[in-house]
């Protein structure tokens, strides 16, 4: 089992700084979050960071939204991400489920609120492509594992909303390679270990973070029993990657780099302890 650091955990920092902190904290590698910065999308520069810090990129995460210089469509963006992964000799690409309704993000008294819009179908082309032959053909021809990710509940008007197609344990089981995201399951009141029991043959990648009413908390801080989940992965001989995908505020981003690294290292050491690995200094 490899423990990776998602560069999305510190998306407010430069990419080289993310690599440096991941190396200092003792991670085995990187999950690269592709975003609007060219640094995240240029193989030559990325290989320079891999060589400099000794951290291979084991997974690439498709961007959440259109990025400059790449096509606007989600299908085309995913194809570009696959090419990037191939250039980096990376076998895993993480991507999201298609949205089944649009959403407007409102800022009310400094807090972000979601306003779901049923009847607005922004990802129809992407949905049809996944349901058709194109998705399977890309996976087969590229040799890259397309690990589709379970998504969180939206909270609006005092209730949970499912904003994504196929976003339930039974329906997601149709996909051969899944990214199990622990905190997203927490938004539905589900324990990751219970869902892993259903999906174990399909889980090819893991996003690890806790949930305390807020998503992407440090693994040791929240309501989810991640110790039992990690133990289940170990018992099954899971040989894939586990990515710590956290929120910047959970790592006290903005504090001194030494403090952020200590916080990150403490979370990683806890995960290694749950996995029964010896402590690394």
**Per-residue pLDDT tens digits for 97-127:** 999 977 777 777 667 777 778 877 788 999 9
244 phi and psi, to 5 degrees? Answer: -80, 110
Phi, psi of 62 (to 5 degrees): -55, 140
- pTM of structure: 0.94
Residue 157 has pLDDT above 80, yes or no: no
Instruction: Please report whether residue 279 resides in a domain.
Output: no
Evaluate whether residue 60 is within a structural domain.
yes
Residue 281 lies in a domain: no
Confidence of residue 132 (pLDDT cuts 50, 70, 90): very high
* Contact yes or no for 215/152 (Cβ under 8 A): yes
> For position 126, what pLDDT does the model report?
96
Hunting for tokens 């110790």 — which residue is that? 227
- What does the DSSP 8-state code read for residue 281? -
C-alpha of 217 from chain center: 13
Question: Is residue 10 domain-resident?
Answer: yes
Asked if 16 and 49 touch (Cβ cutoff 8 Å), the reply is: yes
Asked whether residue 74 is domain-assigned, the answer is yes
Class of residue 163 by CB neighbours under 10 A (exposed 0-12, middle 13-18, buried 19+): buried
173: containing domain: 2-274
* Structure confidence at residue 246 (pLDDT): 98
Q: Is the pLDDT of residue 237 over 70?
A: yes
Strand pairing report for 2-6 and 241-244: parallel
Q: For residues 30 and 16, is the Cβ–Cβ distance under 8 A? A: no
Neighbours of 66 (CB within 10 A): 14
Higher-pLDDT residue of 261, 105: 261
Mean per-residue pLDDT, 68-96: 97
pLDDT digits (tens, 9 = 90+) for 178-207: 999 999 999 999 999 999 999 999 999 999
Question: What is the domain count for the chain?
Answer: 1
* Separation in Å, CA 25 to CA 143, 250, 254, 260: 31, 15, 17, 9
What pLDDT, on the 0 to 100 scale, is given for residue 118?
Answer: 81
Query: What is d(CA 209, CA 226) in angstroms, rounded to the nearest whole number?
Result: 8
Q: Which residues pair with 103 in a beta bridge?
A: 116
CATH number reported for the structural domain that contains residue 259 in this entry? 3.20.20.150
Report if residue 15 sits inside a domain: yes
Q: How confident is the model at residue 150 (pLDDT cuts 50, 70, 90)?
A: very high
The whole-number pLDDT of residue 121 equals: 78
% of the chain beyond a pLDDT of 70 = 98
Per-residue confidence (pLDDT) for residue 281, from 0 to 100: 63
The residue that leads in pLDDT, 118 or 84, is: 84
Question: Cα separation of 1 and 6, whole Å?
Answer: 16
Beta-carbon-side half-sphere exposure of residue 44 (alpha carbons within 13 Å):
0
Residue range 161-182, pLDDT digits in tens: 899 999 999 999 999 999 999 9
pLDDT for the residue numbered 183: 98
pLDDT class of 276 with cuts at 50, 70, 90: very high
CB atoms within 10 A of CB 58: 20
Question: What mean pLDDT do residues 80-87 have?
Answer: 98
């Amino acid at each position: 089992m490899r423990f990776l650091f998602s560069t999305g955990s510190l998306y407010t920092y430069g990419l080289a700084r993310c690599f440096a902190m991941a190396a200092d904290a003792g991670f085995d590698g990187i999950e690269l979050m592709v975003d609007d910065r060219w640094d995240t999308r240029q193989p030559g520069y990325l290989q320079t960071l891999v060589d400099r810090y000794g951290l291979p990129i084991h997974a690439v995460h498709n961007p959440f939204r259109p990025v400059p210089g790449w096509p606007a469509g989600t299908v085309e963006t995913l194809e570009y991400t696959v090419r990037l992964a191939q250039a980096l000799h990376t076998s895993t690409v993480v991507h999201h489920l298609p949205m089944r309704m649009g959403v407007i993000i409102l800022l009310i008294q400094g807090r972000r609120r979601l306003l779901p819009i049923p009847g607005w179908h922004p990802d129809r082309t992407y949905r049809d492509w996944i349901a058709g032959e194109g998705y399977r053909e890309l996976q087969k021809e590229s040799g890259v594992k397309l690990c589709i990710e379970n998504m969180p509940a939206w909270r609006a008007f005092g209730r949970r909303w499912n904003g994504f197609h196929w976003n339930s344990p039974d329906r997601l089981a149709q996909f051969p390679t899944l990214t199990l995201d622990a905190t997203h399951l927490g938004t539905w009141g589900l324990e990751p270990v219970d869902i892993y029991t259903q999906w174990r043959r399909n889980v090819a990648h893991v996003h690890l973070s806790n949930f305390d009413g807020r998503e992407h908390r440090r693994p040791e801080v929240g309501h989810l029993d991640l110790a039992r989940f990690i133990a289940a992965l170990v018992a099954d001989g899971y040989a894939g990657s586990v990515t710590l995908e956290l929120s910047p505020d959970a790592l006290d981003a903005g504090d001194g780099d030494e403090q952020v690294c200590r916080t990150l290292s403490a979370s990683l050491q806890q995960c290694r302890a749950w996995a029964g690995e010896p402590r690394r200094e």
